[in-house]
Structure 1
Amino acid sequence: MLIVGGLLALAGCSDDDSEASNSAPSETSSSTRQSASPSSTEDAEQAAVLAVYTRSWQAQADAYAKASSTGTDLRKTTTLRALGSIEQDLKAMRKADQVTAGKPVIHPGHPKVMAGEIPTATLTDCVDTTNWTLIDKDTKKKVPLPSTRLVKYVSTAKLEKWGTKWMVTELTAQDQSC
């Protein structure tokens, strides 16, 4: 389930159609590979992973605030696989005439970076949606959500390094509070 599922899925927002673009992300970034010791190279990779993860979350918050990914940086930080779930949520929100107000607060841990033909990274986060609420687009009133939903929950992100940049490939909300 998508990371934002803690906010939306428990409110009954889901749809099977996806409006994700088929184009590959085109943003470029400077390489984090430098002449340095292995530990500083790893630190640079971890910093790059955290930066992309944080940008992806900002882009998600921007998209959910208007129920559309248009004009956001989602395609620059998130692969089509992860974007598909986000687009499903956004479509359901548009259908219900809902958007979000406020912002989630993320507390990502240190990413675990794995070398390979395609380098990968995994990180665990504590997402706080206390001040990120679902609202009716027209009335601006909060949409009632189940009292049992997790407001602070554990999430996991997986990333891959595509050339010189990291991309979020999977976002998973855990049914676990933090």
Structure 2
Amino acid sequence: MKRRAHHSAVHFRKTATASLALCAALALTACSSSDGKDEASDESPTVTQSPTASASADPEETAVLAAYTQSWEAQTKAYAKASSAGTDLRKTTTLRALGLIEQDLETMRKAGQVTIGKPMIRPQDPKVTDGEIPKATLTDCVDTTNWTLIDKATKKKVPLPSTRLVKYVSTAKFEKWGTKWMVTELTAQPQTC
């Protein structure tokens, strides 16, 4: 069964947050351990892209990879404070996808939860198709081992279902709006990578 969380980390956070605060059934992915960082630290969380991620010589494919990484970085920052304010989410994510992220962030705020650490992504060879609106897709292995959901007040790790996938396959979809690639959707697969 596929779970959709149009864009990003959205799926990761939506799953983790919903499984804790509202729906224990949404436990496809989530954090598994704290990296020991204080949530209130000045260090800005950013996504780590694995050195094994493929580098593309095609300028459009390179642009898609850059957009994907920027989107993850913006989401990581938003989930670290349970708010999209002051992040670049609107620059990397379509309104439909952003709406789902905002729902996740609201759920986190109500539960008094934020994240610490960061995910590791390994996007693979984007496939770009021409058209009136150029589109692209890529597959990724998202590793949330060091992206942890914590209680904002106590700084304690929030227990998550043991059945969740800490590493999962995700497929991202993009559209090119003008000169910019925007993430329109992420589909997390219920399989490890």
| Fold agreement, TM-score > 0.5 | yes
Moved over 6 A (4+): none
**TM-score, normalization: structure 1?**
0.81
Query: Is 2:66 the partner of 1:60?
Result: no
Query: Is 2:15 the partner of 1:9?
Result: yes
Conserved 8 A contact 1:109-1:123: yes
* Change over 3 Å in CA distance of 1:81–1:8 after alignment to 2: closer
Identical aligned residues as a percent: 73
* Change over 3 Å in CA distance of 1:73–1:8 after alignment to 2: same
Q: Distance in 2 between matches of 1:13 and 1:49?
A: 34
- What's the CA shift for 1:89? 0.7
Alignment RMSD: 1.8
Conserved 8 A contact 1:6-1:151: no
Give the counterpart letter for 1:74 in structure 2.
L
Query: Is 2:153 the partner of 1:147?
Result: no
* Change over 3 Å in CA distance of 1:48–1:107 after alignment to 2: same
Question: What is the CA deviation profile of residues 85-121 of structure 1, one whole-angstrom value per residue up to 9, with x for unaligned ones?
Answer: 1111101000000000000000000100000000000
Q: Distance in 2 between matches of 1:171 and 1:79?
A: 12
Give the counterpart letter for 1:143 in structure 2.
V
* Change over 3 Å in CA distance of 1:175–1:164 after alignment to 2: same
Question: What is the CA deviation profile of residues 102-159 of structure 1, one whole-angstrom value per residue up to 9, with x for unaligned ones?
Answer: 0000000010000000000001100000000000000000000001100000111100
Q: Residues 3-82 of structure 1 correspond to what in structure 2 (within 5 A)? A: 3-4=8-9, 5-10=11-16, 11-13=19-21, 43-82=58-97
Gaps of 5+ in 1: 16-41
- What's the CA shift for 1:6? 3.7
Conserved 8 A contact 1:6-1:149: no
* Change over 3 Å in CA distance of 1:122–1:13 after alignment to 2: farther
Question: How many pairs does the alignment contain?
Answer: 153
Give the counterpart letter for 2:118 in structure 1.
K
Paired residue secondary structure (1:175): coil
Q: Distance in 1 between matches of 2:22 and 2:103?
A: 6
Conserved 8 A contact 2:117-2:147: yes
- What's the CA shift for 1:13? 4.6
* Change over 3 Å in CA distance of 1:79–1:8 after alignment to 2: closer
- What's the CA shift for 1:12? 3.8
Query: Is 2:178 the partner of 1:163?
Result: yes
Gaps of 5+ in 2: 24-56
Paired residue secondary structure (2:91): helix
Larger-gyration structure (1/2):
1
* Change over 3 Å in CA distance of 1:12–1:126 after alignment to 2: same
**TM-score, normalization: structure 2?**
0.75
Q: Distance in 2 between matches of 1:123 and 1:14?
A: 30
